[in-house]
């Protein structure tokens, strides 16, 4: 099915029955993107929801480009290849899919690495149009930004050196140096609920991994999905221990109050279950772990 951008974003009555990742030649490009640009986007997407009244979409459309905040040091989720500059991972593909649904082919996307503590500000001041980077939906954050989704569910976990036998679960954190990212839900959980643990913070998780490797900290804590990516990169040296001990629902961050955009992205996620599965299978799912796409939560705008 070939859909024009107009049809895909303006709700011209066409609802894609067959959302699919095509091997070559995407069909979201339309009248005002070049054919080369359209070919660079592998996602064919359509939503019947109108974007009328979305300030973010108006900005994207008039500028002909989209800036998406991401992580660049989280293997499997959001990773930048230092040599090629290419981004890869589950979050990156979700971001490309959402951009495609808004009529923005891959070459119209600028990815910008924004650490955990700066996400709300980057969305509020328009530095990024969307944020797709292991961003948990929380009530505190909902006061500052809106979220589409959730598009993935994981939970807080623990990563230690393979030689470590003293930390087997979150019950073993007393007196241990526990590293996580500033402004993240896991570091907050440690500070609030594990008062005998010694929190150590960096802006990004890769610095916690360096600190773990050098012996500066005993354990790295953040979402299990993130930790599994680091462990997979260095299986002889690192291991994930215990079971997830929180629930983290990942949302697509957007500017507070842009209800039209949130509704549109939720509709795209809901209709695109097969796109989601293909994205998952080609990224995080390569580990063999099977998970289902969560249902979106159309929380009322406050």
Residue ranges in contact with ligand GLU by CB under 6 A: 116, 133-136, 181, 184-186, 222-223, 248
Which contiguous run of DSSP H or E holds residue 178? strand 177-181
List the 248-255 sheet strands across, edge first.
Answer: 109-113, 66-70, 130-131, 248-255, 145-154
Cα–Cα distance, 129 to 66 (Å, whole number): 6
- Residue placing its CB nearer to ligand GLU in the complex, 44 or 184: 184
- Residue placing its CB nearer to ligand GLU in the complex, 21 or 238: 238
Q: Is 43 helix (H, G, I), strand (E, B) or coil?
A: strand
Nearest to 28 by CA among 85, 108, 89, 86: 108
Q: Cβ 228 to ligand GLU, closest distance in Å?
A: 13
Q: Cβ 186 to ligand GLU, closest distance in Å?
A: 5
- Residue placing its CB nearer to ligand GLU in the complex, 43 or 280: 280
- Residue placing its CB nearer to ligand GLU in the complex, 249 or 278: 249
Q: Cβ 256 to ligand GLU, closest distance in Å?
A: 17
Q: Cβ 136 to ligand GLU, closest distance in Å?
A: 4
Cα–Cα distance, 175 to 188 (Å, whole number): 17
Q: Which two tokens stand for residue 122?
A: 């980057």
- Residue placing its CB nearer to ligand GLU in the complex, 76 or 133: 133
Which contiguous run of DSSP H or E holds residue 97? helix 90-101
Q: Cβ 213 to ligand GLU, closest distance in Å?
A: 20
């Amino acid at each position: 099915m070939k859909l024009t951008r107009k049809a895909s974003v303006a709700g011209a009555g066409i609802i894609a029955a067959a959302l699919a990742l095509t091997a070559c030649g995407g069909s979201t490009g339309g009248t005002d993107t070049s054919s080369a640009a359209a070919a660079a986007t592998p996602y064919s997407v359509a939503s019947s929801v109108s974007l009328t009244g979305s300030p973010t979409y108006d900005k994207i459309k008039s500028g002909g480009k989209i800036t998406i905040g991401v992580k660049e040091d989280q293997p499997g989720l959001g990773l930048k290849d230092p040599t090629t500059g290419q981004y890869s991972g589950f979050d990156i593909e979700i971001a490309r899919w959402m951009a495609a649904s808004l009529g923005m082919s891959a070459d119209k996307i600028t990815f910008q690495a924004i650490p955990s503590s700066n996400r709300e500000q980057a969305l509020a001041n328009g530095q990024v149009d969307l944020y797709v980077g292991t961003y948990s939906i929380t009530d505190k954050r909902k006061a500052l930004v809106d979220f589409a989704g959730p598009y993935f569910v994981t939970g807080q976990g623990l990563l230690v050196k393979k030689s470590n036998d003293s930390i087997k679960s979150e019950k073993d954190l007393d007196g241990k140096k526990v590293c996580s990212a500033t402004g993240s839900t896991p570091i907050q959980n440690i500070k609030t609920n594990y008062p005998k643990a010694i929190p150590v913070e960096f802006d990004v998780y890769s610095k916690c991994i360096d600190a773990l490797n050098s012996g500066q900290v005993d354990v790295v804590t953040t979402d299990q999905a993130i930790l599994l990516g680091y462990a997979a990169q260095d299986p002889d040296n690192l291991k994930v221990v215990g079971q997830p001990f929180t629930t983290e629902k990942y949302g697509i961050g957007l500017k507070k109050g842009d209800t039209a955009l949130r509704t549109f992205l939720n509709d795209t996620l809901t209709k695109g279950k097969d796109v989601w599965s293909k994205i998952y299978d080609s990224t995080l799912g390569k580990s063999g772990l099977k998970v289902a796409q969560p249902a979106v939560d159309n929380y009322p705008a406050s």
